[in-house]
Amino acid sequence: MSDSASKPRPQYRNLSIPQILRYHLPLAGKSSILHRISGALLFLSLPLIIVPLFAASVTSPETYASMREWASNPVCKLVFLVLIWGYLHHFCAGIRYLVLDLHIGMDKVSAQKSAGIVFGVSLALTVVFGLKLFGAW
């Protein structure tokens, strides 16, 4: 019979909040987490915000006018801006993941660059659409 010597098992201790707050994800990890958050945001906003607004806009000209007046509120515009960011980030990160599925840019440096590009493009487009939303032009 073999003498099975027990190996020392790793000890996993409870993490405290300060330890969790000190942990820094790489840019690709942040992009991945925000991709999931933006997907959940879009999924949950579909029945709560998007479909009711669309239904109100196509019912009659009166409901369209009241919905347009309601949507001109700055708080509503901020909600729309968050939804715009969620869509644009999810779209850009989705393209990044499709490229990664083709095994392009799998090394660490390329992955960090593509994550930075996702953040840059999605935030720049959000600024452009936000300026249009708030009436800058």
- What CATH number corresponds to the domain at position 45? 1.20.1300.10
Q: Is the pLDDT of residue 101 over 90?
A: yes
Of the pLDDT bands very low, low, confident and very high (cuts 50, 70, 90), residue 115 is: very high
The DSSP 8-state label assigned to residue 105 in this structure reads S
The token duo for 104 is 């392009």
Q: Report the predicted TM-score, pTM, of the whole model to 2 decimal places.
A: 0.82
Give residue-wise pLDDT tens across range 4-59: 677 888 777 777 888 878 888 899 999 999 999 999 999 999 999 999 989 988 99
- Total domain count, the chain: 1
> Is residue 125 assigned to a domain?
yes
pLDDT of residue 77: 96
What is the sign of the dihedral through the CA atoms of 34, 38, 39 and 44? positive
What is the sign of the dihedral through the CA atoms of 116, 109, 99 and 31? negative
> What does the alpha-carbon distance between residue 89 and residue 108 come to, in Å, rounded to a whole number?
21
- The boundaries of the domain holding residue 35 are 26-133
